[in-house]
Amino acid sequence: MPVGPGYTLLIIPLHDSLEASNFFLWLKRMKELEQRRDALWHGLEMVERARHWYHQEIHGVDQRQRHGGEGSADNVGMDYASKFHPDRASLLLDKIQHVNYCLCDFISCAERMLLPHHCATQPAAQHLPRGKDGRSQQQTLEALKRQNRLLTKEVSKRSQWITQLEQEKAVLIKQLLEAQFQSHAQSSWNSSILV
């Protein structure tokens, strides 16, 4: 990936306040443009990485389809995850669909900003993923429900674990206080005997 040019340092002597304010506004616009360029370069790098990842996944899916769903040496990890952790494969699909939706939304918003007469609140229909007979939205909804159930179970498990840890903490604090009290009582008893 090409690297963008560095920042420019410019020193110009100014003679009056109008010239200074105009120069300041120009300098501010230049800084905003440089920041925008940097963000665009970073975004382009992320898109290229994502593109590479998508191509690898498509190649892996094509390989599995050619071999009748059997894993090749390259795809053993993914096959293992999908066989023994189907929820992970489902979550990955959900994430992919979410990223695709976000990209469509981003493109749509960028187009609306450049062309103000487009006033839609959702991504343009031609950018949205389509399924046969509208099943894509139903599948997405089912995937979100499945993900919600998994997250609810996980939150419940963690909540129970936190409750258990808090109970153990309370027992340990009680034991510590009792030990401190006994130590204090023992030391005061010893000092009263010595006196």
pLDDT tens figures, 2-24: 556 666 666 666 677 787 788 88
User: Where exactly are the structural domains of the chain?
Assistant: 19-84
For residue 82, the tally of other CB atoms under 10 A from its CB is 19
Spatial CA neighbour of 62 closest among 72, 53, 50, 52? 72
Please write the tens of the pLDDT for every residue from 169-191: 888 988 888 888 888 777 776 66
> How many contiguous H segments (helices) and E segments (strands) does the chain have?
4, 0
pTM for the full predicted model: 0.43
